Amino acid sequence: MQEKPMWPDRRLLDLLGIDVPLIQAPMAGAMDAELVIAACEGGALGSLPCAMLSGDRLREQAGIIRQRTDRPFNLNFFCHKPAAPDARREAAWQGRLALYYKEWDVDPAAPLTAANRAPFDAAMCEIVEDVKPKAASFHFGLPAKALLKRVKAAGCVVMSSATTVKEAVWLEQHGADVVIAQGAEAGGHRGMFLGGDVAAQPGLFSLLPQVVDAVRVPVVAAGGIADGRGIAAAMMLGAAGVQIGTAYLFCPESTIAQPFRDRLAEGGDDTTAITNLMTGRPARGLVNRVMKDLGPLGSAPAFPHAATALAPLRAAAEKAGSGDFTPLWSGQSAALGRAMPAAELTRKLAEDALNRLKFPASR
Protein backbone atom coordinates (compact mmCIF):
# COMPACT_ATOMS: atom_id res chain seq x y z
CA MET A 1 0.00 0.00 0.00
CA GLN A 2 1.26 3.48 -0.87
CA GLU A 3 2.16 5.57 2.17
CA LYS A 4 0.06 8.71 2.73
CA PRO A 5 2.06 11.94 2.25
CA MET A 6 2.99 13.53 5.57
CA TRP A 7 0.98 16.73 5.64
CA PRO A 8 1.44 18.49 9.00
CA ASP A 9 -2.32 18.90 9.40
CA ARG A 10 -4.84 16.38 8.06
CA ARG A 11 -8.02 18.05 9.32
CA LEU A 12 -9.02 19.57 6.00
CA LEU A 13 -8.14 16.42 4.06
CA ASP A 14 -10.32 14.30 6.33
CA LEU A 15 -13.18 16.80 6.51
CA LEU A 16 -13.41 17.29 2.74
CA GLY A 17 -12.18 13.90 1.50
CA ILE A 18 -9.46 15.45 -0.67
CA ASP A 19 -5.90 14.23 -1.39
CA VAL A 20 -4.03 17.51 -0.98
CA PRO A 21 -4.90 20.42 1.34
CA LEU A 22 -5.57 22.82 -1.51
CA ILE A 23 -8.76 24.57 -2.56
CA GLN A 24 -8.98 25.98 -6.07
CA ALA A 25 -10.60 29.34 -5.32
CA PRO A 26 -14.00 30.05 -6.83
CA MET A 27 -13.56 32.91 -9.31
CA ALA A 28 -16.81 34.35 -10.64
CA GLY A 29 -16.58 35.46 -14.26
CA ALA A 30 -13.20 33.76 -14.77
CA MET A 31 -13.96 30.04 -14.86
CA ASP A 32 -16.52 27.28 -15.17
CA ALA A 33 -16.85 23.52 -14.61
CA GLU A 34 -13.69 22.74 -16.62
CA LEU A 35 -11.37 24.27 -14.02
CA VAL A 36 -13.30 22.67 -11.16
CA ILE A 37 -13.00 19.22 -12.71
CA ALA A 38 -9.28 19.61 -13.43
CA ALA A 39 -8.48 20.85 -9.92
CA CYS A 40 -10.52 17.98 -8.42
CA GLU A 41 -8.68 15.47 -10.59
CA GLY A 42 -5.40 16.91 -9.29
CA GLY A 43 -6.54 16.07 -5.75
CA ALA A 44 -7.70 19.52 -4.58
CA LEU A 45 -11.19 20.76 -3.76
CA GLY A 46 -12.47 22.36 -6.96
CA SER A 47 -14.86 25.27 -6.45
CA LEU A 48 -17.60 26.47 -8.79
CA PRO A 49 -18.40 30.20 -8.39
CA CYS A 50 -22.18 30.58 -8.55
CA ALA A 51 -22.69 34.30 -7.80
CA MET A 52 -23.14 35.19 -11.48
CA LEU A 53 -25.00 32.04 -12.56
CA SER A 54 -28.72 31.57 -13.13
CA GLY A 55 -30.29 28.55 -11.44
CA ASP A 56 -30.44 26.66 -14.74
CA ARG A 57 -26.82 27.32 -15.54
CA LEU A 58 -25.79 26.30 -12.02
CA ARG A 59 -27.63 22.99 -12.37
CA GLU A 60 -26.04 22.44 -15.79
CA GLN A 61 -22.52 23.17 -14.52
CA ALA A 62 -22.96 20.98 -11.45
CA GLY A 63 -24.23 18.19 -13.73
CA ILE A 64 -21.10 18.46 -15.90
CA ILE A 65 -18.87 18.26 -12.83
CA ARG A 66 -20.72 15.19 -11.51
CA GLN A 67 -20.51 13.51 -14.90
CA ARG A 68 -16.78 14.02 -15.27
CA THR A 69 -15.40 13.49 -11.76
CA ASP A 70 -16.46 11.58 -8.69
CA ARG A 71 -14.28 13.72 -6.45
CA PRO A 72 -15.64 16.20 -3.89
CA PHE A 73 -16.30 19.76 -5.00
CA ASN A 74 -17.50 23.08 -3.62
CA LEU A 75 -20.29 25.47 -4.68
CA ASN A 76 -19.57 29.12 -3.83
CA PHE A 77 -22.05 31.95 -3.29
CA PHE A 78 -22.10 35.60 -2.30
CA CYS A 79 -23.98 36.63 0.86
CA HIS A 80 -24.11 40.42 0.55
CA LYS A 81 -27.20 42.37 1.54
CA PRO A 82 -28.47 43.63 -1.81
CA ALA A 83 -28.48 47.42 -2.10
CA ALA A 84 -31.51 48.93 -3.79
CA PRO A 85 -30.66 50.61 -7.09
CA ASP A 86 -30.12 54.35 -6.61
CA ALA A 87 -30.94 56.11 -9.89
CA ARG A 88 -29.34 59.40 -8.88
CA ARG A 89 -26.05 57.81 -7.83
CA GLU A 90 -25.97 55.65 -10.93
CA ALA A 91 -26.60 58.66 -13.19
CA ALA A 92 -23.77 60.54 -11.45
CA TRP A 93 -21.47 57.56 -12.01
CA GLN A 94 -22.45 57.32 -15.65
CA GLY A 95 -21.73 61.05 -15.89
CA ARG A 96 -18.20 60.46 -14.62
CA LEU A 97 -17.76 57.90 -17.38
CA ALA A 98 -19.12 60.26 -20.07
CA LEU A 99 -15.76 60.89 -21.75
CA TYR A 100 -15.25 57.16 -22.17
CA TYR A 101 -18.75 56.75 -23.62
CA LYS A 102 -17.85 59.40 -26.19
CA GLU A 103 -14.46 57.90 -26.94
CA TRP A 104 -15.94 54.43 -27.52
CA ASP A 105 -19.00 55.75 -29.31
CA VAL A 106 -21.39 54.21 -26.81
CA ASP A 107 -24.85 55.80 -26.51
CA PRO A 108 -25.37 56.86 -22.86
CA ALA A 109 -29.13 56.95 -23.42
CA ALA A 110 -29.32 53.29 -24.43
CA PRO A 111 -30.98 51.08 -21.79
CA LEU A 112 -28.56 49.36 -19.41
CA THR A 113 -28.74 45.80 -18.14
CA ALA A 114 -28.49 45.66 -14.34
CA ALA A 115 -25.38 43.93 -13.00
CA ASN A 116 -26.10 40.32 -12.01
CA ARG A 117 -24.50 39.35 -8.73
CA ALA A 118 -27.33 37.99 -6.62
CA PRO A 119 -26.93 36.87 -3.01
CA PHE A 120 -27.62 33.28 -1.95
CA ASP A 121 -31.36 32.73 -1.61
CA ALA A 122 -33.99 30.02 -1.18
CA ALA A 123 -33.90 29.08 -4.88
CA MET A 124 -30.11 28.59 -4.81
CA CYS A 125 -30.47 26.69 -1.55
CA GLU A 126 -32.85 24.27 -3.22
CA ILE A 127 -30.22 23.56 -5.86
CA VAL A 128 -27.61 22.96 -3.17
CA GLU A 129 -30.03 20.51 -1.54
CA ASP A 130 -30.42 18.68 -4.86
CA VAL A 131 -26.74 18.70 -5.86
CA LYS A 132 -25.40 17.99 -2.35
CA PRO A 133 -21.84 19.18 -2.98
CA LYS A 134 -19.25 18.18 -0.40
CA ALA A 135 -18.79 21.84 0.52
CA ALA A 136 -20.59 25.17 0.18
CA SER A 137 -18.49 28.29 0.58
CA PHE A 138 -19.64 31.87 1.04
CA HIS A 139 -18.16 35.31 0.54
CA PHE A 140 -19.38 38.40 2.48
CA GLY A 141 -20.59 36.47 5.52
CA LEU A 142 -23.04 33.58 5.80
CA PRO A 143 -26.64 32.98 4.66
CA ALA A 144 -29.54 33.69 7.02
CA LYS A 145 -29.94 31.10 9.80
CA ALA A 146 -32.76 29.10 8.20
CA LEU A 147 -30.94 28.79 4.87
CA LEU A 148 -27.66 27.87 6.56
CA LYS A 149 -29.49 25.13 8.48
CA ARG A 150 -30.73 23.69 5.19
CA VAL A 151 -27.23 23.80 3.65
CA LYS A 152 -25.89 21.90 6.65
CA ALA A 153 -28.77 19.43 6.55
CA ALA A 154 -27.78 18.71 2.92
CA GLY A 155 -24.47 17.48 4.34
CA CYS A 156 -22.28 20.35 3.13
CA VAL A 157 -19.14 21.47 4.93
CA VAL A 158 -19.70 25.23 5.33
CA MET A 159 -16.80 27.60 4.66
CA SER A 160 -16.56 31.38 4.51
CA SER A 161 -13.93 34.10 4.13
CA ALA A 162 -12.76 36.28 7.02
CA THR A 163 -10.58 39.34 6.45
CA THR A 164 -10.10 40.12 10.16
CA VAL A 165 -9.96 38.15 13.42
CA LYS A 166 -13.33 39.65 14.35
CA GLU A 167 -14.92 38.22 11.20
CA ALA A 168 -13.28 34.81 11.79
CA VAL A 169 -14.73 34.60 15.32
CA TRP A 170 -18.14 35.71 14.03
CA LEU A 171 -18.10 33.01 11.33
CA GLU A 172 -17.21 30.28 13.80
CA GLN A 173 -19.92 31.45 16.21
CA HIS A 174 -22.50 31.48 13.41
CA GLY A 175 -21.79 27.96 12.16
CA ALA A 176 -18.85 27.95 9.72
CA ASP A 177 -17.01 24.60 9.75
CA VAL A 178 -13.94 26.14 8.09
CA VAL A 179 -12.71 29.73 8.12
CA ILE A 180 -10.84 31.05 5.08
CA ALA A 181 -8.43 33.75 6.25
CA GLN A 182 -8.27 36.12 3.28
CA GLY A 183 -5.20 38.35 3.45
CA ALA A 184 -5.07 41.74 1.77
CA GLU A 185 -2.84 40.24 -0.97
CA ALA A 186 -5.79 38.26 -2.36
CA GLY A 187 -7.22 38.81 -5.82
CA GLY A 188 -10.92 39.53 -6.23
CA HIS A 189 -13.39 40.97 -3.77
CA ARG A 190 -12.43 41.49 -0.18
CA GLY A 191 -14.75 39.19 1.74
CA MET A 192 -15.24 41.92 4.40
CA PHE A 193 -18.69 41.84 5.95
CA LEU A 194 -18.45 43.46 9.40
CA GLY A 195 -17.66 46.89 8.05
CA GLY A 196 -14.26 48.32 8.71
CA ASP A 197 -11.79 50.31 6.70
CA VAL A 198 -10.33 48.69 3.60
CA ALA A 199 -7.03 50.51 4.21
CA ALA A 200 -6.74 48.73 7.57
CA GLN A 201 -7.11 45.20 6.19
CA PRO A 202 -4.25 42.92 7.37
CA GLY A 203 -1.91 41.00 5.11
CA LEU A 204 -1.92 37.21 5.36
CA PHE A 205 1.31 36.80 7.37
CA SER A 206 -0.27 38.88 10.12
CA LEU A 207 -3.88 37.72 9.81
CA LEU A 208 -3.36 33.96 9.57
CA PRO A 209 -1.67 33.12 12.92
CA GLN A 210 -4.02 35.52 14.71
CA VAL A 211 -7.06 33.78 13.22
CA VAL A 212 -5.56 30.37 14.03
CA ASP A 213 -5.23 31.48 17.66
CA ALA A 214 -8.79 32.84 17.77
CA VAL A 215 -10.88 29.94 16.39
CA ARG A 216 -11.01 26.18 16.84
CA VAL A 217 -12.23 25.23 13.34
CA PRO A 218 -9.64 24.53 10.61
CA VAL A 219 -8.30 27.69 8.98
CA VAL A 220 -7.55 27.93 5.26
CA ALA A 221 -5.06 30.58 4.12
CA ALA A 222 -5.84 32.69 1.04
CA GLY A 223 -4.08 35.61 -0.62
CA GLY A 224 -0.88 35.82 -2.63
CA ILE A 225 -0.05 32.11 -2.39
CA ALA A 226 1.08 30.78 -5.75
CA ASP A 227 3.80 28.20 -5.15
CA GLY A 228 5.02 25.49 -2.80
CA ARG A 229 6.90 27.94 -0.62
CA GLY A 230 3.76 29.92 0.13
CA ILE A 231 1.77 26.78 0.92
CA ALA A 232 4.47 25.47 3.27
CA ALA A 233 4.77 28.88 4.97
CA ALA A 234 0.99 29.04 5.49
CA MET A 235 1.03 25.59 7.07
CA MET A 236 3.88 26.65 9.36
CA LEU A 237 1.67 29.54 10.46
CA GLY A 238 -1.08 27.10 11.40
CA ALA A 239 -3.18 26.82 8.24
CA ALA A 240 -4.87 23.45 7.67
CA GLY A 241 -5.01 24.21 3.95
CA VAL A 242 -4.60 26.88 1.32
CA GLN A 243 -7.03 28.47 -1.14
CA ILE A 244 -5.44 29.60 -4.39
CA GLY A 245 -7.05 31.81 -7.02
CA THR A 246 -4.72 33.85 -9.23
CA ALA A 247 -2.28 30.99 -9.94
CA TYR A 248 -5.20 29.00 -11.46
CA LEU A 249 -6.08 31.86 -13.82
CA PHE A 250 -2.97 30.94 -15.85
CA CYS A 251 -4.38 27.48 -16.59
CA PRO A 252 -5.85 26.80 -20.02
CA GLU A 253 -9.07 25.76 -18.24
CA SER A 254 -9.76 29.29 -16.92
CA THR A 255 -12.08 31.33 -19.13
CA ILE A 256 -10.36 34.73 -18.98
CA ALA A 257 -10.00 36.62 -22.26
CA GLN A 258 -6.63 37.04 -23.98
CA PRO A 259 -6.03 40.69 -22.95
CA PHE A 260 -6.49 39.63 -19.30
CA ARG A 261 -4.14 36.66 -19.80
CA ASP A 262 -1.52 38.96 -21.36
CA ARG A 263 -1.71 41.49 -18.52
CA LEU A 264 -1.48 38.69 -15.97
CA ALA A 265 1.64 37.32 -17.63
CA GLU A 266 3.28 40.74 -17.22
CA GLY A 267 2.01 41.08 -13.63
CA GLY A 268 4.46 42.05 -10.91
CA ASP A 269 4.30 42.53 -7.15
CA ASP A 270 3.13 46.13 -7.57
CA THR A 271 0.76 45.94 -10.55
CA THR A 272 -2.48 45.47 -8.60
CA ALA A 273 -4.56 47.73 -6.37
CA ILE A 274 -7.75 47.51 -4.36
CA THR A 275 -10.58 49.34 -6.08
CA ASN A 276 -14.31 49.79 -5.46
CA LEU A 277 -14.98 51.37 -8.85
CA MET A 278 -15.57 48.22 -10.88
CA THR A 279 -18.45 46.78 -8.82
CA GLY A 280 -19.03 49.03 -5.80
CA ARG A 281 -17.17 46.77 -3.34
CA PRO A 282 -13.44 46.72 -2.66
CA ALA A 283 -11.62 44.13 -4.75
CA ARG A 284 -8.01 43.64 -5.82
CA GLY A 285 -7.15 43.63 -9.50
CA LEU A 286 -4.52 44.57 -12.05
CA VAL A 287 -4.69 48.33 -12.46
CA ASN A 288 -6.83 49.15 -15.51
CA ARG A 289 -7.67 52.51 -17.04
CA VAL A 290 -10.72 53.25 -14.89
CA MET A 291 -8.75 52.52 -11.72
CA LYS A 292 -5.84 54.66 -12.89
CA ASP A 293 -7.93 57.63 -14.07
CA LEU A 294 -10.67 57.72 -11.42
CA GLY A 295 -9.41 55.81 -8.37
CA PRO A 296 -8.49 53.20 -7.48
CA LEU A 297 -10.95 54.07 -4.64
CA GLY A 298 -13.68 56.63 -5.11
CA SER A 299 -17.35 57.36 -5.22
CA ALA A 300 -19.39 54.76 -7.13
CA PRO A 301 -22.82 53.10 -6.76
CA ALA A 302 -23.19 50.31 -4.19
CA PHE A 303 -22.37 46.69 -5.06
CA PRO A 304 -23.00 45.44 -7.67
CA HIS A 305 -24.50 48.50 -9.36
CA ALA A 306 -21.19 50.21 -10.24
CA ALA A 307 -20.74 47.48 -12.85
CA THR A 308 -23.96 48.44 -14.66
CA ALA A 309 -22.78 51.68 -16.32
CA LEU A 310 -19.37 50.12 -17.04
CA ALA A 311 -20.88 47.14 -18.89
CA PRO A 312 -21.37 48.70 -22.36
CA LEU A 313 -17.90 50.28 -22.22
CA ARG A 314 -16.44 46.96 -21.21
CA ALA A 315 -18.17 45.21 -24.09
CA ALA A 316 -16.98 47.78 -26.65
CA ALA A 317 -13.40 47.78 -25.36
CA GLU A 318 -13.18 44.00 -25.09
CA LYS A 319 -14.33 43.69 -28.69
CA ALA A 320 -11.29 45.79 -29.60
CA GLY A 321 -9.02 43.62 -27.44
CA SER A 322 -8.78 46.11 -24.56
CA GLY A 323 -9.22 45.43 -20.85
CA ASP A 324 -9.57 49.14 -19.95
CA PHE A 325 -13.02 48.62 -18.40
CA THR A 326 -12.77 44.95 -17.41
CA PRO A 327 -12.25 43.90 -13.80
CA LEU A 328 -8.86 42.14 -14.02
CA TRP A 329 -9.03 40.53 -10.59
CA SER A 330 -5.63 39.30 -9.49
CA GLY A 331 -3.68 38.86 -6.28
CA GLN A 332 -0.23 40.24 -5.61
CA SER A 333 1.66 37.11 -6.68
CA ALA A 334 0.75 36.88 -10.37
CA ALA A 335 4.48 36.96 -11.17
CA LEU A 336 4.78 33.51 -9.56
CA GLY A 337 2.10 32.03 -11.83
CA ARG A 338 2.93 29.45 -14.50
CA ALA A 339 0.68 28.41 -17.37
CA MET A 340 -0.03 24.68 -17.14
CA PRO A 341 -3.09 22.43 -16.98
CA ALA A 342 -4.86 22.75 -13.64
CA ALA A 343 -4.53 19.10 -12.56
CA GLU A 344 -0.79 19.28 -13.19
CA LEU A 345 -0.52 22.62 -11.38
CA THR A 346 -2.35 21.17 -8.37
CA ARG A 347 -0.01 18.16 -8.16
CA LYS A 348 3.06 20.35 -8.60
CA LEU A 349 1.96 22.81 -5.90
CA ALA A 350 1.36 19.95 -3.47
CA GLU A 351 4.65 18.19 -4.27
CA ASP A 352 6.68 21.40 -3.98
CA ALA A 353 4.99 22.24 -0.67
CA LEU A 354 5.68 18.77 0.75
CA ASN A 355 9.36 19.02 -0.28
CA ARG A 356 9.60 22.42 1.28
CA LEU A 357 8.05 21.16 4.52
CA LYS A 358 10.57 18.29 4.58
CA PHE A 359 13.59 20.41 3.63
CA PRO A 360 12.75 23.99 4.68
CA ALA A 361 16.08 25.49 3.59
CA SER A 362 15.99 24.28 -0.04
CA ARG A 363 15.70 26.83 -2.82
Query: Alpha-carbon dihedral of residues 126, 132, 133, 135, nearest 10 degrees?
Result: 80
Contact by Cβ (8 Å): 180, 141: no
Q: How far is the CB of 230 from ligand FMN (least distance, A)?
A: 9
- Tell me how far apart the terminal alpha carbons of the chain are, to the nearest angstrom: 31
The residue range among 9-17, 32-40, 105-113, 329-337 that interacts with ligand FMN, by the rule CB under 6 A, is 329-337
For position 30 contacting ligand FMN by CB under 6 A, the verdict is yes
Q: How many residues bind ligand FMN (CB under 6 A)?
A: 27
What are the start-end ranges of the E strands in the chain?
22-24, 46-49, 73-78, 135-139, 157-162, 178-182, 188-189, 219-222, 241-244, 272-275, 283-286
Scanning residues 33 to 52, which ones bind ligand FMN (CB under 6 A)? 49, 51
Q: How many residues does the chain have?
A: 363
Question: In whole angstroms, how close is the CB of 26 to ligand FMN at the nearest point?
Answer: 4
Contact status: 333 vs ligand FMN (CB under 6 A): yes
Among 331, 336, 354, 357, binds ligand FMN (CB under 6 A): 331
Among 25, 39, 118, 179, binds ligand FMN (CB under 6 A): 25
How many whole angstroms separate alpha carbon 44 and alpha carbon 18?
A: 6
Name the one range near ligand FMN by CB under 6 A: 168-176, 241-249, 261-269, 315-323. 241-249
* Residue closer to ligand FMN, measured from CB, 104 or 302: 302
Among 139, 281, 347, 356, binds ligand FMN (CB under 6 A): 139
Determine, following the binding rule CB under 6 A, whether residue 243 of this chain makes contact with ligand FMN.
Answer: yes
Q: Which is nearer to ligand FMN, 94 or 137 (CB)?
A: 137
Q: Cβ of residue 28: shortest distance to ligand FMN, in angstroms? A: 3
The contacts of residue 361 (CB under 8 Å, 6+ apart) are none
**Type of residue numbered 271:** T
Annotate each residue in 49-78 with x if it binds ligand FMN (CB under 6 A) or - if it does not, as one string.
x-x------------------------x--
- Pick the closest to residue 64 from 95, 27, 33 (CA basis): 33
User: Least Å distance between CB 261 and ligand FMN?
Assistant: 12
| Selected binder of ligand FMN within 141, 143, 241, 245 (CB under 6 A) | 245
Select the span of 84-92, 151-159, 163-171, 217-225 touching ligand FMN (CB under 6 A). 217-225
Residue 164 φ/ψ region, left for φ over 0, alpha for ψ in the -120 to 50 degree band, beta for the rest: beta
- The answer to whether 187 contacts ligand FMN (rule: CB under 6 A) is yes
Q: What DSSP line would sit under 150-180, residue for residue?
A: HHHHTTPEEEEEESSHHHHHHHHHTT-SEEE
**Could you tell me if 178 and 159 are in contact, meaning their C-beta atoms sit under 8 angstroms apart?**
yes
When asked if residue 264 is in the footprint of ligand FMN (CB under 6 A), the reply is no
3-state DSSP assignment of residue 59: helix
Question: Rounded to whole angstroms, how far apart are CA atoms 151 and 136?
Answer: 8
List residues binding ligand FMN (CB under 6 A): 25-28, 30, 49, 51, 76, 139, 161, 182, 185-188, 222-225, 243-246, 329-331, 333
